[in-house]
Amino acid sequence: MLRDLRRFAVSRSLFPPMTLGDAIGRLGFVQADPIRAPARAQDLTLRHRVAGYRSGDLERGYAQLDVEEDVFINYGYVPRSVQALMHPRTVAARPAAPRNSRERELLAFIRERGEVHPREVDLHFSHGTVTNYWGGSSRATTHLLESLHYRGLVRVARRERGIRIYTVREHAAASAGAAARRAQIDALVDVLVDAYAPLPRASLSAVISRLRYAVPQRRGELKEALRRALKRLAHARVEDVDWYWPADERWPSDAPDQGVRLLTPFDPIVWDRRRFEMLWGWSYRFEAYTPVPARKLGYYALPLLWRDEVIGWGNLTVTNGELRSEFGYVKSRPPRDRQFARELAGELDRMRTFLGVQR
């Protein structure tokens, strides 16, 4: 049964490649991360699920897509239909409004310019610095724009060399009825389950609790949303653990894909570390912020998937236009299988094409 769960987790997430907009709609949420090792997390996630995808395609095509940057359970990209379920982030379901004269002046400035770069705002207002989440110093302009973005007063229009370019956004009032609120939260839960299922009971509870970032105005309703989810989702007990997934889905009966895939640490297949250890029997850790002497896998180790098993990890870098790779394996050495060697070589070739580096 556990083998069937692994196959289910992999096959439902690695669906046949499609267009960029359709893939984001199918995933429901694509987590973003600024580290390039060898590319950003959102690009590494999408390259497996979008036909002909190249690193940076999301940023280049963003303005033409029905997609928004926003906070969901983490920061990333969501279809506008999902974003509409999260806003307005106000208790009384009224449209978000500026809190003070500084915010009113900033919004007027953005509205007049149409689109603004944070540097342009900083030069105009000279806001200074604030202490950020990690204890360092950030420009107050960036902090203020991020606050306005989270509250729905501005949106990311596009990016310029990775920097968010903002424009004013208007939000209509949401329905305040209890039934409408329940339906919205249940729809957000469904987005989570679609992205990360099958989920063990503890992970389902944890991931629903993270919706407090998406809908802080509804955080008191999340426990009841969990109780409803437990009743309506499909589930099975495997090795004394209850697992949950969308009610209309069935476990696959065909053989797993025979290919090799290098996954980002934020890929839906490996994102939930609890589920990862239960399915594959070893602990994967993201070590980019771990002191170098304490690292066991590497700065940005990419989980290495072969068929329906995560058998190790790879660290990839681009040096002088060439892709360099180092691999580690759970069983200390790679599988003694010629097909694995061929598939790994093919995955590295696909990575080179994705990155636009020489073979």
The domains of the chain, with CATH numbers, are 101-168 (1.10.10), 260-355 (no CATH)
Whole-number pLDDT of residue 90: 87
- Each residue's pLDDT tens digit, 257-300: 779 999 999 999 999 999 999 999 999 999 999 999 999 999 99
Is the per-residue pLDDT at 172 higher than 80?
Answer: no
Is the per-residue pLDDT at 339 higher than 80?
Answer: yes
183: its two tokens = 């339906």
Q: Are 315 and 296 within 8 A, CB to CB? A: no
CA gap 43, 40 in Å, rounded: 5
N- to C-terminal Cα distance for the chain? 41
CA angle (147, 148, 150) in 5-degree steps: 65
Give just the sign of the alpha carbon dihedral 132, 32, 195, 23: positive
Is the per-residue pLDDT at 313 higher than 80?
Answer: yes
Region 210-227 average pLDDT: 96
Region 102-126 average pLDDT: 91
Using omega within 30 degrees of 0 as the cis cutoff, is the peptide bond preceding 79 cis?
Answer: no
- Each residue's pLDDT tens digit, 83-111: 999 999 988 777 888 999 989 999 999 99
User: Would you place residue 180 in the very low, low, confident or very high pLDDT band (cuts 50, 70, 90)?
Assistant: confident
User: Would you place residue 358 in the very low, low, confident or very high pLDDT band (cuts 50, 70, 90)?
Assistant: confident
CA gap 31, 267 in Å, rounded: 8
DSSP secondary structure string for all residues of 294-342: G-SS-TTPEEEEETTEEEEEEEEEEETTEEEEEEEETTSS--S-HHHHH
Whole-number pLDDT of residue 150: 97
Whole-number pLDDT of residue 220: 95
Is the per-residue pLDDT at 173 higher than 70?
Answer: no
Region 130-155 average pLDDT: 82
Region 320-342 average pLDDT: 92
Is the per-residue pLDDT at 255 higher than 80?
Answer: no
Whole-number pLDDT of residue 356: 95
Is the per-residue pLDDT at 77 higher than 70?
Answer: yes
How much is the mean pLDDT over the chain? 93
CA gap 347, 14 in Å, rounded: 15
Report percent pLDDT > 70 for the chain.
96
This model's pTM is above 0.85: yes
Whole-number pLDDT of residue 133: 60
User: Would you place residue 131 in the very low, low, confident or very high pLDDT band (cuts 50, 70, 90)?
Assistant: confident
User: Would you place residue 139 in the very low, low, confident or very high pLDDT band (cuts 50, 70, 90)?
Assistant: confident
Region 207-221 average pLDDT: 96
Residue positions counted in the chain: 359
Whole-number pLDDT of residue 16: 94
